[in-house]
Amino acid sequence: MAGTVYQGDVGLEIVLDCGCDVSGAVGAAVAVRTPSGAVVAWPAETAAAGGGGVTCLRCLTRAGDLAEAGTYRLQASLTLGGWTGRGRTAILVVKPKFS
C-alpha cells in the first residue's frame, strides 16, 4: 500500500497475509468495517507473498471503496477445505483529501 492513503483513492493494492497456504481457497474477499460502521466485502484473489507460497489475499480498491476518511478494519475472508472464516484484523487509516 502507499505510505499515505487518501479518501477516494482508486487502484490502491491491499495485500493481507493469511500466514498459511491459501492456494485452494474459494470465496476470497476482504471483509471491511468502514469508519461509519458499515460492513462490506471487497472482492479479492489469492496471491503469492514475496518469494514464498500463496499465503495472501490481494485486492485493488475501486471507486467508492474509500469514500470515508477514518479508520477501516480489514479481515481476510475465505473458505479453505472444510473451514470458513476470517483472519486477523488489519487497520487502514484513510486521511481526508488535502490533509
| Residue 98 within any structural domain of the chain | no
Which structural domain, as residue segments, surrounds residue 10? 5-93
| Residue 62 within any structural domain of the chain | yes
Strands 70-80 and 83-86: antiparallel
Q: Give the CATH number, domain containing residue 24.
A: 2.60.40
Tell me the per-residue pLDDT of 45-61, one tens digit each, with 9 for 90 and over.
999 977 778 999 999 99
Mean pLDDT for 58-86 is 97
The answer to whether 43 and 62 are in contact (CB under 8 A) is no
Angstrom distance (rounded) from CA 93 to CA 35: 9
Q: How many domains does the chain have?
A: 1
Q: What is the mean pLDDT of the chain?
A: 94
Tell me the per-residue pLDDT of 12-35, one tens digit each, with 9 for 90 and over.
999 999 989 999 999 999 999 999
